[in-house]
């Protein structure tokens, strides 16, 4: 007896459907893989680096303090973090290199710290192990490239006028590109985080210098260029700097809400609505679209102290998805003791690392800390030892796991999955086309809300129980190693 089974299809490849990683490039306004299939990159930001950028905390000329800072790189990002975001259905990480000082001493310019670069190699290998693309970004450059303290030089903004600083950042990027010139897990290089150039000529001259340095060794990878004035205005960028370019913006608007955490979303009384966000974001990407270049939203997210922040973040993702934009949520974790930042892993003032920073600021000598204590401090910044905002993480996971578009096909469609009985009352058996070793089952309601995830081990068929759900239509997706093994629709009647 022949049955017709309904299955789901993805219109484009998104966050849960990377089978084999290949070098990405830009073609016809899209980020595509080696066979020309559009890839929408979705994920979060990892901050990879030490506290060297916080110049007031440590004496970097002291060898014991320098060793501690080097060791931070072994704990700030660990392989378990990649397992975690893979389970969230992310397909990309924006890897923010916190400070150039982790790779080059100011007293020894153009000489690079091989041990720290090897730790970066380990992070790249973890990304390969879990099929997650990396966009490598530079947060701090010699001399500073914006006037914020997080630029790493006490708020100085001297990169644009100092040729020595420009040569140093271009050389560092060349060194990084040389390591990964043929590495397909690298999606591309995001040259400067949130630049604040005095004029477009300065911005483009510095960008050109870095691009030329990278392209002398690596012609493969995408170059991501952020708009000027805190990654806002891409129309300062000369699109003829190179080929294989993508533009990038950060979206924290309005800043009083997203950055300062003041206000409520949505608020129709002041036109702070999803439609208003959509119009604003469209304005930001118009320039890229006019040039037929992809525009990546490299950072977004509202302070979690803001009322309605989850709705804001969810609406932002829906808008970006509707525009086929790649995006990375800021941030995976925050280790500085601030509980209301955008990160979904965080520390508070009871964290050992936070307490150590406070002690240093109040005059405690680093030499007074025992090695046992320092080891304890380093362990305290690893993600399993942090607090978690479950609602935020679950929302992001739901949005990344949810297929962007759903079509209904018969048994000759893209997936071979059998569900019987269908409709069902008490239980239904799901039969896959092949045995899975270590897969994930996702069950969604008709609105696309993720209701359940479950591990599937060494099986070809499994049973879902009707007592877990109310009557209705549900969508099922089985994913193993980012490959969709089977998808289907099932009806529960009670």
Helix axes 163-180, 200-215, angle to 10 degrees: 40
Kindly tell me if the per-residue pLDDT of 8 is higher than 70: no
Overall average pLDDT of the 137-151 stretch: 89
- Are residues 448 and 377 part of one domain? no
246 and 327 in a single domain? The answer is: yes
pLDDT, mean of residues 306-317: 96
pLDDT tops 70 at residue 263: yes
Q: Tell me the residue range of the domain where 472 lies.
A: 7-11+407-492
Is residue 441 a part of any domain in this protein?
Answer: yes
Neighbouring C-alpha atoms within 13 Å toward the C-beta of 327: 25
Whether 171 and 292 map to the same domain: the answer is: yes
Please determine, for residue 181, whether its predicted confidence score (pLDDT) is greater than 90.
Answer: yes
Q: Are 284 and 249 in contact (CB under 8 A)?
A: yes
245 and 259 fall within a common domain? yes
Q: Which of 385, 401, 417 represents a domain boundary (last residue)? A: 401
The CATH number of the domain holding residue 481 is: 2.60.40.3080
Residue 455 lies in a domain: yes
Write down the pLDDT at residue 444: 84
pLDDT of amino acid 290: 97
Are 179 and 35 contained in the same domain?
yes
**Which residues, listed in sequence order, are joined to residue 333 by a DSSP beta bridge?**
345
b/e sequence 175-203, b meaning 16+ C-beta within 10 Å: bbbebbeebbbbbbbbbbbbbbbeeeebb
pTM for this model (two decimals): 0.82
Note whether residue 57 is domain-resident.
yes
Q: Is the pLDDT of residue 464 over 90?
A: yes
pLDDT digits (tens, 9 = 90+) for 47-75: 999 999 866 678 888 999 999 999 999 99
Among the ranges given (291-295, 375-379, 400-404, 470-474), the one the predictor scored with the smallest mean pLDDT:
400-404
pLDDT at residue number 53: 81
Residues 419 and 295 in one domain: no
- Residues 425, 395: one domain? no
Number of domains in the chain: 2
pLDDT at 439: 87
- Work out the average pLDDT over 362-377: 96
Tokens 């260029």 sit on residue:
225
Q: Per-residue pLDDT for 6 more than 60? A: no
Residues 123 and 270 in one domain: yes
Do 444 and 388 fall into the same domain? Answer: no
Average pLDDT of span 151-174: 92
Whichever domain contains 209, its CATH number is 3.20.20.80
Answer yes or no: is 16 within a domain: no
pLDDT digits (tens, 9 = 90+) for 223-249: 999 999 999 999 999 999 999 999 999
Q: Look at residue 278 in the predicted model and tell me its pLDDT.
A: 97
Q: Is 455 found in the same domain as 323?
A: no
* 19 within a domain of the structure (yes/no): no
């Amino acid at each position: 007896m022949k049955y017709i089974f309904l299955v789901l299809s993805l219109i484009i490849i998104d966050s849960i459907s990377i089978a084999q990683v290949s070098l990405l490039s830009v073609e016809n306004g899209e980020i595509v893989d080696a066979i020309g299939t559009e890839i929408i990159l979705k994920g979060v930001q990892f901050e990879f680096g030490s506290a060297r950028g916080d110049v007031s905390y440590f004496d970097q000329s002291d060898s014991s303090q320098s060793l501690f800072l080097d060791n931070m790189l072994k704990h700030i990002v660990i392989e378990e973090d990649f397992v975690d975001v893979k389970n969230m259905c992310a397909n990309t990480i924006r890897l923010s290199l916190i400070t150039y000082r982790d790779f080059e001493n100011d007293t020894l310019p153009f000489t690079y710290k091989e041990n720290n670069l090897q730790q970066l190699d380990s992070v790249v290998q973890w990304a390969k192990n879990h099929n997650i693309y990396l966009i490598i970004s530079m947060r701090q450059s010699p001399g500073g490239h914006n006037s914020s303290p997080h630029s790493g030089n006490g708020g100085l903004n001297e990169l644009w006028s100092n040729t020595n600083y420009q040569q140093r950042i271009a050389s560092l990027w060349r060194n990084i590109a040389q390591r990964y010139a043929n590495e397909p897990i690298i999606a591309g290089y995001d040259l400067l985080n949130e630049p604040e150039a005095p004029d477009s000529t300065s911005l483009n001259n510095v960008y050109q210098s870095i691009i030329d340095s990278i392209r002398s060794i690596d012609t493969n990878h995408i170059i991501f260029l952020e708009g000027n004035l805190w990654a806002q205005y891409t129309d300062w960028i000369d699109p003829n700097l190179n080929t294989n370019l993508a533009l990038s913006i950060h979206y924290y608007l309005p800043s009083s809400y997203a950055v300062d955490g003041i206000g409520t979303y949505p608020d129709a009384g002041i036109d702070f609505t999803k439609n208003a966000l959509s119009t604003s974001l469209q304005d930001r990407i118009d320039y890229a679209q006019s040039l037929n270049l992809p525009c990546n939203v490299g950072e977004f997210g509202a302070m979690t102290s803001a009322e309605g922040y989850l709705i804001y973040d969810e609406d932002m993702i829906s808008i970006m998805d509707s525009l086929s934009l790649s995006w990375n949520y800021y941030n995976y974790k925050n280790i500085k003791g601030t509980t209301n930042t955008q990160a979904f892993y965080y520390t508070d003032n009871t964290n050992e690392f936070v307490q150590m920073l406070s002690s240093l600021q109040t005059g405690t000598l680093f030499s007074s800390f025992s090695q046992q204590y320092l080891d304890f401090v380093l362990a305290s910044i690893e993600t399993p030892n942090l607090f978690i905002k479950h609602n935020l993480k679950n929302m992001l996971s739901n949005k990344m796991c949810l297929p962007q578009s759903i079509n209904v096909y018969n048994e000759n469609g893209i997936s071979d999955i059998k569900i019987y009985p269908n409709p069902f009352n008490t239980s239904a058996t799901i039969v896959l086309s092949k045995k899975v070793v270590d897969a994930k089952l996702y069950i969604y309601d008709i609105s696309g809300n993720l209701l359940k995830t479950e591990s599937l081990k060494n099986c070809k068929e499994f049973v879902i129980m009707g007592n877990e759900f109310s009557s209705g239509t549900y969508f099922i997706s089985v994913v193993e190693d980012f490959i969709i093994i089977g998808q289907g629709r099932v009806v529960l009647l009670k």
